[in-house]
Structure 1
Amino acid sequence: MALEIRTFGDPVLRSAATPVEGFDEALSRLAEDMLVSMREHEGVGLAATQVGRLKRIFVAGLEDEEYAVVNPVIESRSQETETDTEGCLSLPGVQVEVERPVSIIVTGYDPSGEMIRIEATELLARIIQHEMDHLDGITILERTDRESRREAMRGLRERMLAQR
């Protein structure tokens, strides 16, 4: 079932998620619903906070691979970074430049409680870092430069006013 994606202005997007303590059917269902929502909105990642759940879980999909990671931890980051354009399902129409490490190693659990380790590079590393930021209440607006943030905020306000 597709879940409602929270957008700019919703306070849940600024909230930090809490660690998942129980691995049960409800968690597996949440992960599957998040994957469905991500696909329906043509995204490549989605954090639980973006669907109003303050749980440390995100999903990501790239090419034929899909991931659901519970209680993720970045174990290492490359020294090498790259700046690229990012968008966000919670910030419709916004695209800003964000600098991130080009590779990371993340550990966590799958929704059934099995330990997982992902060695991610390039786009997958960027997606995972973006979703983990959401779990800490951080959006791409906090990861970009001041001028880009100002311009993005102006566009968001104009779109919000136009919807009234």
Structure 2
Amino acid sequence: MTVMPVRLFGDPVLTTPAREVTDFDAELRNLVRDLDATLRDQQGSGLAAPQIGVGLRVFAFHDPQVSGHLVNPVLEFPDEAEQDGPEGCLSMPGLYFDTIRRLNVVAKGFTLHGDPVQIVGTGHLARCLQHETDHLDGVLFIDRMDTARRKAAMRAIRDAAWNRPAPPRIKFSPHPAPGRRP
């Protein structure tokens, strides 16, 4: 179980659809453990495999009522009810924006052992399940916003300290350059 670095906005893995899991093996079990360890370390609600650079359809989640993981999730919506409220993402640290999501969801998928599982979520849990499944489809939550909210979000992302390039590192050779005297 390893805490992995979380990929930040702009990394192409975050907008690339993830591949379906076909092997329920030790590698998958290690991935789920790494997702869980990283999510706990980051104190988030959910973390998808692409956010740690792995292009597979797996995510871990922690909610006050239930915690776990889903492999190859598929969402169903039992009604049309919606919620509008703040949403954040570990790939955009410290930023929260109001986002419209469905209020109720049924997530079906598999455990890390390949056993079928179903999670019924409402409110925060429903938001989390939708957010993480979007990650597996290469969709970011800012893609769900209307134009005005998305513009405001993009301004905040551009201004975020984590989105600034590191200053270039300049190394000086300890060897004299040809034609120059020390």
TM category (shorter chain) comes to over 0.9
Greater percentage in helix: 1
Pairwise CA RMSD: 1.4
Match of 2:21 in 1: 20
Q: How many Å separate the matches in 2 of 1:90 and 1:105?
A: 25
Contact 1:108–1:115 (CA under 8 A) maintained in structure 2: yes
Contact 1:70–1:110 (CA under 8 A) maintained in structure 2: yes
Task: Say if 2:51 is the partner of 1:84.
Answer: no
Rate the CA distance shift 1:162–1:155 in 2: closer, same or farther, 3 A: farther
The structural deviation recorded for 1:154 is 1.7
Q: How many Å separate the matches in 2 of 1:54 and 1:161?
A: 25
Q: How many Å separate the matches in 1 of 2:23 and 2:10?
A: 30
Contact 2:81–2:103 (CA under 8 A) maintained in structure 1: yes
Match of 1:126 in 2: 127
Q: Percent identity?
A: 36
Q: How many Å separate the matches in 2 of 1:114 and 1:163?
A: 44
Higher RCO (Cα < 8 Å, 6 or more apart):
1
Q: How many Å separate the matches in 2 of 1:92 and 1:45?
A: 13
What amino acid is the match of 2:14?
Answer: L
Match of 2:35 in 1: 34
How many residues get paired? 164
115-124 or 69-78, which moves further after superposition? Answer: 69-78
Matches within 5 A, 1:11-160: 11-63=12-64, 65-159=66-160, 160=163
The structural deviation recorded for 1:79 is 0.9
Match of 2:164 in 1: 161
Structure 1, unaligned runs of 5 or more: none
What amino acid is the match of 1:45?
Answer: G
The structural deviation recorded for 1:162 is 7.2
The structural deviation recorded for 1:96 is 1.1
Greater percentage in strand: 1
Provide TM-score, normalisation by structure 1. Answer: 0.94
Work out which of the two has the higher radius of gyration on C-alpha atoms and give 1 or 2: 2
72-81 or 13-22, which moves further after superposition? Answer: 72-81
Provide TM-score, normalisation by structure 2. Answer: 0.85
94-103 or 10-19, which moves further after superposition? Answer: 94-103
Q: How many Å separate the matches in 2 of 1:80 and 1:64?
A: 21
The structural deviation recorded for 1:158 is 2.1
The structural deviation recorded for 1:93 is 2.5
